[in-house]
């Protein structure tokens, strides 16, 4: 059998690439409108970065990382998420001192050895933002507003923003102990996965999707009831600012995030129509992360969302994303002389940025017209001996079927006028 893509990975084909281009350009536009600057970091990093940055008790680091030794014996890992790398880049390049609030965004592939299913892959794309330098709840509200604006602007409907507060170093340890005690009393009724990991990461039991765990966790202590005064105030202010911004949100004590570095605000955006993997975006505040990776204490807040899952959601909700015309003009040439003229003509048209393609296989006119249809050309230029003798071409509108013979001199002007007046979506 021929070689296939590795499990959990896939090709993004030309027929679907317009969806990706649409999402990527919207992401860039909206992130920049909110004052974020792009940063690109390596696809692999020292394994230690993720062990320290993401947390060695998380599923991601414990079970899901693609870790390997390079030929020099260093332990490297394909990045499973973006934040730790961005923090490393900020420390290494001294970016944190450049602005009072540093706003960065990224897009790229992430890698996690997970059990693949619809909307869950081993190689997937994430885009995200990180804002460093302020613990002000204004910034939490702005970041959540950005997340909502972006998804709504992309055309996603039935969005639900869910927020929670996980507390900080002052109140979280006592809360976690209470949660652990509760979980231990109900161990017999929890799913195997939760029993296996509750000691290392008790918060994750709260967002387990298994029915038996959900039922048990209804009565579990919630972080919101155990916040210290500062965290309580911070959370109230986040909500106050979200109300001012008219962001439609709900407080959900089960939003906990799977990564160790979150403090205070945690949030997720869920879209209907996605089944089990319905969370398209997740984020929160991480005030201790920079310090734990060797930088000076710097608060931060951000989010990441999966492009794959977002595109699935857009498709599931039937959002109309018209495929752009990949080709404006196809030149169908009959005969060697006509082919030579076609080559020069395509060169001239392309200089005007008209998307042009032509025949290279010397096939019949019928076969060439078939190709023009297949690649959705808007116009076809027909060029044979008769046209060459008269210095003309036949210009055919592929949608209406109308065609007329025009001189080669007027071709460019005519085409530019026709293409501009009805430009492709």
* Residues lying near ligand AMP in the complex (CB under 6 A): 81, 112, 114, 119-121, 124, 126, 257-258, 279-282, 304-306, 308-309
Q: Which string of DSSP letters, residue by residue, matches 175-238?
A: HHHHHHHHHHHTGGGS-HHHHHHTTT-THHHHT---HHHHHHHTTS--GGGG--HHHHHHHHHH
Q: Which is nearer to ligand AMP, 81 or 328 (CB)?
A: 81
Alpha carbons 290 and 368: distance in angstroms, whole number: 60
Q: Which is nearer to ligand AMP, 58 or 346 (CB)?
A: 58
CB of 253 to ligand AMP, least distance (A): 18
CB of 417 to ligand AMP, least distance (A): 45
For residue 236, what are its two tokens?
């109230």
Number of residues written out for the chain: 425
Question: Is residue 388 a contact partner of residue 338, using CB atoms and an 8 Å limit?
Answer: yes
Q: Return the residue nearest ligand AMP (CB atom).
A: 306
Q: Which is nearer to ligand AMP, 36 or 111 (CB)?
A: 111
Q: Which is nearer to ligand AMP, 115 or 344 (CB)?
A: 115
Sort 342 into a burial class: Cβ within 10 Å, 0-12 / 13-18 / 19+.
buried
Question: Is residue 298 a contact partner of residue 133, using CB atoms and an 8 Å limit?
Answer: yes
Alpha carbons 330 and 327: distance in angstroms, whole number: 7
Q: Which of 236, 240, 226, 253 is nearest to 168 (CA)?
A: 226
Q: Which of 354, 353, 306, 331 is nearest to 408 (CA)?
A: 331
CB of 289 to ligand AMP, least distance (A): 14
Q: Which is nearer to ligand AMP, 231 or 268 (CB)?
A: 268
Q: Which is nearer to ligand AMP, 140 or 387 (CB)?
A: 140
Question: Is residue 250 a contact partner of residue 272, using CB atoms and an 8 Å limit?
Answer: no
CB of 62 to ligand AMP, least distance (A): 14
CB of 281 to ligand AMP, least distance (A): 5
Label each residue of 62-104 as H, E or C: HHHCCEEECCCCCEEEECCCCHHHHHHHHHHCCCCCCCCCEEE
Alpha carbons 306 and 365: distance in angstroms, whole number: 46
CB of 9 to ligand AMP, least distance (A): 11
CB of 175 to ligand AMP, least distance (A): 21
Q: Which is nearer to ligand AMP, 79 or 355 (CB)?
A: 79
User: What 3-state class would DSSP assign to 369?
Assistant: helix
CB of 277 to ligand AMP, least distance (A): 7
Q: Which is nearer to ligand AMP, 44 or 182 (CB)?
A: 44
Q: Which is nearer to ligand AMP, 168 or 279 (CB)?
A: 279
Pairing of strands 263-271, 279-285: antiparallel
Task: Determine phi and psi for 379, rounding to 5 degrees.
Answer: -130, 155
CB of 251 to ligand AMP, least distance (A): 19
């Amino acid at each position: 059998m021929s070689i296939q893509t590795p499990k959990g990975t896939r090709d993004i084909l030309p027929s679907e690439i317009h969806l990706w281009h649409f999402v990527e350009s919207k992401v860039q536009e909206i992130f920049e409108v909110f004052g974020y600057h792009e940063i690109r970091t390596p696809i692999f990093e020292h394994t230690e970065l993720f062990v320290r940055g993401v947390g060695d008790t998380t599923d991601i680091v414990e079970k899901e990382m693609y870790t390997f030794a390079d030929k020099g014996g260093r332990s490297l890992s394909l990045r499973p998420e973006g934040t730790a790398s961005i923090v490393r880049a900020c420390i290494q390049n001294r970016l944190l001192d450049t602005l009072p609030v540093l706003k960065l965004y990224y897009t790229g592939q992430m890698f996690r050895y997970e059990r693949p299913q619809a909307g869950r892959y081993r190689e997937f794309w994430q885009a995200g933002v990180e804002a460093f330098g302020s613990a002000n709840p204004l910034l939490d509200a702005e970041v959540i507003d950005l997340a909502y604006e972006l998804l709504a602007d992309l055309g996603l409907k039935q969005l639900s923003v869910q927020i929670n507060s996980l507390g900080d170093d002052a109140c979280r340890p006592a809360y976690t102990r209470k949660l652990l005690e509760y979980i231990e009393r109900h161990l017999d009724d929890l799913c195997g996965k939760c029993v296996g990991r509750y000691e290392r990461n008790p918060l994750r039991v709260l967002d387990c999707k298994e029915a038996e765990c959900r039922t048990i966790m209804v009565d579990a202590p919630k972080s919101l009831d155990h916040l210290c005064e500062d965290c309580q105030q911070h959370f109230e202010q986040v909500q106050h600012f979200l109300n001012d911004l008219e962001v439609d949100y709900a407080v959900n004590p089960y939003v906990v995030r799977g990564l160790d570095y979150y403090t205070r605000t945690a949030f997720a955006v869920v879209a209907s129509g996605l089944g089990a993997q319905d969370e398209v975006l997740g984020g929160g505040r991480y005030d201790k992360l920079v310090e734990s990776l060797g930088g000076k204490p710097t608060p931060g807040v951000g989010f990441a969302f999966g492009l794959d899952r977002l595109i699935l959601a857009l498709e599931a909700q039937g959002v109309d994303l018209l495929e752009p015309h990949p080709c404006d003009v196809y030149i169908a040439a009959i005969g060697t002389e006509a082919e030579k003229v076609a080559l020069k003509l395509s060169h001239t048209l392309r200089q005007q940025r008209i998307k042009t393609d032509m025949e290279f296989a010397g096939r019949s006119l019928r076969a060439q017209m078939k190709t023009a249809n297949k690649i959705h050309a808007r116009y076809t230029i027909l060029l044979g001996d008769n046209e060459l003798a008269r210095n003309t071409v036949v210009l055919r509108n592929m949608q209406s079927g109308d065609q007329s013979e025009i001189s080669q001199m007027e071709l460019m002007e005519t085409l530019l006028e026709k293409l501009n007046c009805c430009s492709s979506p």
